Each structure stands twice: as C-alpha cells, then as structure tokens.
Amino acid sequence: MPQLRPFAQVDVFTAQPYLGNPLAVVLDGSGLNDAQMQGFARWTNLSETTFLLPPTPEAAAQGADYRVRIFTPGGELPFAGHPTLGSCHAWLEAGGTPQAKDRIVQECAKGLVQICRDDSRLAFAAPSFQRKNPSPGLLAQVAHALGLTAKQIISAQHLSNGTDWLGVLVDDMQSVLQLQPDHPALKNLGVKVGVAAVDSARAAPDSIAAKLEVRAFAALNGINEDPVTGSLNASLAQWLIADEYMPPSYVVHQGTCIQREGRIHIRQDASGQVWVGGDSVTCIRGSATL
C-alpha cells in the first residue's frame, strides 16, 4: 500500500532559490522497488530524483551514513554530482547525524563518496575517473552538431566517473554562450556533451578567482541542457587541472543561457584530491505518496 514519505525539493549549486539545479529527494525510500522509484522519477520530470535508504551493512562498517539511489526520468545513475550534494543537504536538514565529525559518507552504486564542509558549503570528493581521446570522426560529428569549427576546439576528452561525458574545451567564452546545438543529432550520436571555456580575464594566477563557463547537453537522457552539472564538472576539473588548463582553485558558471546562475566551487587539495562544492537551498518540504 502507498504511504506518505517525507519529501524535499532542493535547489543545488545556488544560494538563491530557483537559480540552480532542482533535485527531488524522497527521504525514506525503504520498501520501494526499482519500478516504483523509476515511475516517481519519471513523474517528477526533473533531471534527477533520489531515494535515501540505510547504508548496506558492508558500507556502514566502512563509515557510510546513508545510501542514495539516483534516477533520471529514463534510468538509474551510479553517481551524479548535484544529487550527491542535494541529498546530503536534505539528509542533514532532516536530522541526519554523521558517524564522523569532519565528514559525511554517502553510499551509491559507484561506491562511497566523501562529503565535507568547505567554506560553509558542502563539497564532495570527485570520484575516480577515466579519460581517453575521442575518435576524430566522432569529434567532427559532435563539433558539427554543436556548430563549432575545428579551430575553435582546444582539446576534447571522453570522461567517465560513473556517468559518461564528452568534454570539449573551446577557445572563447562567447563561443560557449552562443552555441545553438542540434540536440537530436547529439542524441543520435549517443553522447552527452559538456562544453567549457576559460574566462581569460580571470585566468591569470593572481586573479581573484579563475572562472570556467560550462554548458551541458544531455538529450541522450531527455534533457537538452542541464542547468548545473556536478558529475561533469568533477571530471572536467580532474582533466583541466591535470593538463594545466585551469589552476587548482576556480569557480564554474553554468546555466547562463537558460536563466540560471549555477556556481560550482572547485578546489584541489595538497594530496591532489579534487573537491566539488556548492550551496544548496530547500524550496519545498512535505510528503510524497509512494
């Protein structure tokens, strides 16, 4: 029988409601099967809906505080960034108490994800990722679908950290902001594409904050343009810092072209771990019948 379950809708990567990336959070997903979770995620029609559960015994023994399952309208993801921060925000706000004083540990299908407070905002440790060069043929087709010329592309990498993206670094912020992609063509190519450009005015080592402008196109998952994307920016950061396109600390602006003002704070610590941080704010509290 359906029951009332505590529910929150959280705006992630913003301190001001309705300018970030919304996330639906069912705070008690116990007893729900895959079809019920998928059906509710399809109904919310948000990019992601999460369901919080007790950690598995094995994960709890390793310090996990809760388990999360992450669904898009079309399927389950092993990991995603804004659902990680938004779910943690909702869990803490609902009275969740971490096992450790200095971190929260989330279990997801990708594994255990460390979350900490970074300058008063939550930040997750970017999970391990893999990268490889795209084939020239695919890159040419993607560039055509984006409306880019070959000379505008500085570099490109396939990026995978539980979700897969083709990351494309281009020469100018305006090139990013002026894109009008052929979304059906990108979907037919079977890729999600993240396009980024450095704000050259803020890229100098002595600048107040280096800035990266990012857009994420995910027609493959039924989302033409994602407002603010934690998983993409985690792997982008690992790539761009390692290859010295970006400094160890910078701020991502995303969502500009769809009337959002997403802000992601990237920081690489002394050990080389990349942290992906952002503000979250709860916009809706209540119950969902599931």
**Cross-strand partners of 26:** 7, 51
Query: Residues of 247-269 as b/e, b for ≥16 C-beta within 10 angstroms?
Result: beebbbbbbbeeebbbbbbbbbe
Nearest Cα residue to 21 out of 188, 208, 230 = 230
For the question of residue 48 being annotated catalytic, the response is: yes
CA 100, distance to chain mean position in Å, is: 24
Distance between CA 112 and CA 139 in Å, rounded? Answer: 33
Q: Is 161 helix (H, G, I), strand (E, B) or coil?
A: coil
Alpha-carbon separation of residue 113 from 5, 55, 85, 93 (angstroms): 25, 12, 11, 19
Contact 203, 210 (CB under 8 A): yes
Q: Which two tokens stand for residue 62?
A: 């390793």
Distance between CA 49 and CA 211 in Å, rounded? Answer: 29
Among 48, 107, 213, 225, which one carries the catalytic annotation?
48
Distance between CA 257 and CA 61 in Å, rounded? Answer: 44
**Cross-strand partners of 266:** 250, 276
Residues labelled as active-site residues: 48
